[in-house]
Structure 1
Amino acid sequence: MPRNKEFDYDEKLIVARDLFWKKGYNATSMNDLVDAMEINRSSIYLTYGNKHDLFLKSLTNYIQKKDKQYRLAAEKSEDPLEAVKNIIYSVLQSVLLDNNCLFTNSVFELAGSDKEVGNMLAKQTLVAVALFEKLLKKAKNNGSLTSDKSPRALAHFLVSGLTSIYNTHILFSDKQLTKQTTAILIESITK
């Protein structure tokens, strides 16, 4: 008779996600996962699959968290340009609190060598681009965005700029520089 799981699936997934987030995929061993999740190796394999499967589930969980963050930030204002700024400021707050980003880490560590991860990250990037593009088109239509740049190209630039906020803070741990990077990104749509 099989034993019932004696742990919360989502809770342990978040533990694994945060470990991958902190250490990266390649530096995280199965022993690290067993120790951090406080469940045995066979339970990890039976519940989540191998290390790669667990990583994909962790990354999916992180992406869902970021989607929700962006959506909630955008919903704080009915003005589309303010909604874009709210998303950018929410990223700044995340950077200052977490000092890391599983998405950004995964882009640089795995996207070029792991097709499945690369596809997942590219798909999510396009989701973020679509959100920004929609808001920027609305801002252009209501006159609050005066740039002659294509909303789609500007949306891609903003999504790349979000990564630069993380990169700046991770590399230099300088809050002032990180805030200045954020301000310059916002200026790209306001001037």
Structure 2
Amino acid sequence: MSRQKEFDYDEKLITARDLFWKKGYNATSMNDLVDALKINRSSLYLTYGNKHDLFIKCLNSYNKLKGKEYREAAGSNEDPLTAVKNMVLAVLDVILNDDKTCLVVNSTFELARIDEEVKRILHRQTVWNLEIMEELLHKAKENGTLPIDKDPKAWAHFIMISITSIWYTQQLFSDPKLTRQMADILLETITK
């Protein structure tokens, strides 16, 4: 008869995710994970797999959470351009009120170039985000709030990359005023 697990799978996954988020994938050791999760090494391997397997589970869990938040921000207004602005403002709120950079941003710069599985996951998540943004921008173009000469696909990419730049600025300069100004410039650019 197999023994019942004495811990909550999702709770430990969140703990591991937060550790990877704080330290990065490469700087997080299996000993760090064992210590943080407070489970023995064999339970960790049996439940989550090796370090890479665990990271992939954490990244997928994070993407699911952020996807939900993204959908909520996108659907927060009937006007599509206002919904886009709400998405930017929701990310800005996280940037200014959380001391961690987005796990997707971290993982993109740390791993996407060298880990094909991570790159596929990040690509899939980004494409999904871009599709939501592009759909909203198409609707804005149709209702006349986005100028006819603006290509929704190019603008969706521009907005997403700009959001990453806002994360970058806050991480490097820790200047909330500058970070807000960058977001304001992005929001003004969207409506011009």
Show the counterpart of 1:84.
84
> What's 2:96 paired with?
96
Shift of 1:184: 1.4
Q: Alpha-carbon deviations, 1:114-148, whole Å to 9, x = none?
A: 01101111111111110000000000100111251
CA contact (8 A) 1:147 1:189 kept: no
Note the residue ranges of structure 2 that are not aligned, 5 or more in a row. Answer: none
Asked whether 1:35 is paired with 2:35, we answer yes
After TM superposition, the runs of 4+ consecutive aligned structure 1 residues lying more than 2 A away are none
Q: How does 1:64-79 map to 2 (within 5 A)?
A: 64-79=64-79
Counterpart residue type for residue 106 of structure 2: N
Any gaps of 5 or more consecutive residues in structure 1?
A: none
SS in 2 for 1:176: helix
CA distance in 2, matches of 1:27, 1:137: 42
Instruction: Report the Cα distance in structure 2 between the residues aligned to 1:55 and 1:187, rounded to whole angstroms.
Output: 37
Distance in 1 of aligned mates of 2:156 and 2:173: 26
Does residue 169 in structure 1 map to residue 170 in structure 2? yes
Which residue matches 2:191?
190
After TM superposition, the score normalised by the length of structure 1 is 0.97
Per the TM alignment, residue 188 of structure 1 is displaced from its structure 2 partner at its CA by 2.0
- Note the 1:18-167 alignment, pairs <5 A: 18-99=18-99, 100-146=101-147, 148-167=149-168
The alignment-based identity, stated in percent, is 61
Equivalenced residue count is 191
